[in-house]
Amino acid sequence: MYKSLLLLVSIHCCLLVSAQDMTGLVMKVKAKLDQVNDYEADGRMKTDVSFIKAPIGKVKVYFKKPNKFRLKKDGGISLLPKGGVSVNMNSVFAATDFVALSAGETVIDGTKTRIVKLLPSNENSDIVLTTLYIDETNLLIKKSVTTTRENGTYEIALSYGQFASYGLPDKVVFSFNTKNYKLPKGITLEFDDEKPVSEAEKLKNKKGRVEITYTNYVINKGVSDTVFK
C-alpha cells in the first residue's frame, strides 16, 4: 500500500512538477539549524504504543554538533522506538551527500509546505529515503518520513513555537511501525482467559507514537561530552 502510494507520488511528481533540485532549500534549512551548536532541553515524553502502558515521563534531551543526541530520563526507565535517536532532525542532514528533489507541495496544519525527497548518494546508508515537508517561508521542517533498511519507516511531525528561530521544535511526534507483541501466558504466568476480541484488536493496532513536548531550551551554553556516553 505504502509503496504503491510512493510510486503514485513519484509519478505525480515527474508528470506535473518535473524534478527540481531542492538542495538549495535544504542547505538553507540546514544552515538555520547550524546556528545551534548544542542545546539541552527538558521535555515530557508520552509513549503511545498499543501494547505499552506507560505514564508520561520527564526527559532531558541533549544535542551537540554534528549529530550527538541523547535522550535521558531521570533515573527512570524509558521506552523508545528502535533507533529512537532519530527523533532529532539534525541526523537527517548529518550526511552531506544526498540528492534533494522536489515532489510538490502540500498543506500541513494550515501551513503550505514543499515536499522534498532526500536520496542519500551512499549506497550503504541505512536511510533509504527521507521525505521532508518544509515550510519555505520560515525554513522549518514540519514533517519528515524516513525509510530505513533496519528500522522500518518512521514519521516525525514537528510543531514550532518560541524557538522556531533556531529551528527547534516545541513538540515532536514520532510515529513508527511496531511488530506484534505477544508472550505465551506460560512464560508470564498468567492464568486468565483470552482477552475479548475487541480488546485484542485494539492491541493489534501497530502504529506507535512517541510524543515529546519540549520546554526550557538552553541553547549554545555548552554541553559536556560525558552526557552522550
Partner 1 sequence: MWTLIQIELFKIFRRPRTYIAFAAITGLIGIIQFGLKLDGAAYIDFMMRDINSSITVEGKILNGYQVCYISLQVLLVHVPLLIALVAADMISGEANMGTLRIMLTKPISRTRFLLAKFLAATAYTFLLLVWLAILALLLNMLIFGTDDLFLLKSDYVVLLKKDDIFWRYIWAFAFAMLAMTTVASLGFLFSLFAENSIGPIVATMSVIIFFTILSTLNIPVFNKLKPFLFTTHMIGWKEFFDIKVNDANEAIVGSIQNPQKIITSALVLMAHIVGFVTAAVVIFKRKDVLS
Residues that bind partner 1 (CB under 8 A): 46-57, 73, 75-84, 176-179, 181-193, 195, 200, 203, 208
For residue 213, give the C-alpha cell. Answer: 513536548
Q: What is the nearest approach in angstroms of partner 1 to the Cβ of residue 140?
A: 26
C-beta closer to partner 1: residue 63 or 98:
63
Q: What is the nearest approach in angstroms of partner 1 to the Cβ of residue 56?
A: 6
Q: 116-121, long-range: CB within 8 Å, 24+ apart, which pairs? A: 116/22, 116/25, 116/26, 117/13, 118/26, 118/92, 120/95, 121/97
207-219 and 38-48 beta bridge pairing: antiparallel
Q: What is the nearest approach in angstroms of partner 1 to the Cβ of residue 137?
A: 32
- AA identity, residue 97: D
C-beta closer to partner 1: residue 97 or 150:
150
Q: What is the nearest approach in angstroms of partner 1 to the Cβ of residue 120?
A: 23
C-beta closer to partner 1: residue 21 or 74:
74
Q: Look at phi and psi of residue 144 and say left if phi exceeds 0, alpha if psi is from -120 to 50, else beta.
A: beta
Q: CA 129, CA 205: separation in Å to the nearest integer?
A: 25
Q: CA 178, CA 69: separation in Å to the nearest integer?
A: 23
C-beta closer to partner 1: residue 112 or 185:
185
Q: CA 169, CA 212: separation in Å to the nearest integer?
A: 10
C-beta closer to partner 1: residue 15 or 189:
189
Q: What is the nearest approach in angstroms of partner 1 to the Cβ of residue 26?
A: 29
